[in-house]
Amino acid sequence: MASVHKEFLVDATPDQVWDVLRDFGAVHERLAPGFVTDTRLDADTRTVTFSDGTIVAERLVDLDPVSRRVAYTVVGGSLHPSHHHAWMQALPEAEDKTRFIWHTDVLPEPLAASIAESVEHGATVIRAALEAAATRPPRVGEPVHEIA
C-alpha cells in the first residue's frame, strides 16, 4: 500500500480551519475553490469535480469535531482504487496557527504518484483558502453542508 502525507502550517486558528473543513459538501466553495470546481452532496457521499476534469465520489467515514478531523474514502468516479482512505485534520500550533494534515492510503500503489501530485497542488490552494477565510467574519446563519 502507498501513502501520501502532507502537512503545512496555516495562519488561522484550529477553530477557523475546522469551520471550513467540516463543511463536507462545500469543498468547491470553501476549502479548495478553483482546485475543486463542484461538489454535490447526497446523504453521506459527495461527488467532487476537480479542475482537471477528474470526478470522484467520496463517502464520509468520520467527521469528528473534538479532534477536528474528517475522514473519507473513494467509492466511485474516474479513479479506480482497490483501496482508498484519506483524512484531513486541524491541529493547534503556537501563536493561533494550525497544523493542517492531509493523509491518504491507496492501492494500487501506482495511483499514489498522481494523488501526490494532486495533493501538492491542492495543499497550496487549501492553505490560501483557509487563510483568506480566517480574515472574514464568522458565517452566522449560513448553512453548513455537513453530515449530522
- The 10s digit of each residue's pLDDT in 85-127 is 999 999 999 999 999 999 999 999 999 999 999 999 999 999 9
Residue 82 host element (H or E):
none
Whole-prediction pTM: 0.91
**Are the C-beta atoms of 79 and 54 separated by less than 8 Å?**
yes
pLDDT range class, residue 144, cuts 50, 70, 90? low
Helix 111-134 vs helix 14-21: angle between axes, to the nearest 10 degrees?
A: 120
The per-residue pLDDT for 145 is 59
**Position 18 pLDDT exceeds 70:** yes
Ranges of H-type helices in 5-70 = 14-21
Which three three-digit cell numbers place residue 113? Answer: 504518484
**Position 141 pLDDT exceeds 70:** no
The per-residue pLDDT for 136 is 75
d(CA 65, CA 19): 10
For 78-124, what is the HEC assignment? CCCCCEEEEEEEEEEECCCEEEEEEEEEEECCCHHHHHHHHHHHHHH
Which three three-digit cell numbers place residue 110? Answer: 501506482
Q: Parallel, antiparallel, or unpaired: how do β-strands 2-10 and 45-50 relate?
A: unpaired
Instruction: Tell me the per-residue pLDDT of 53-73, one tens digit each, with 9 for 90 and over.
Output: 999 999 999 999 999 999 999
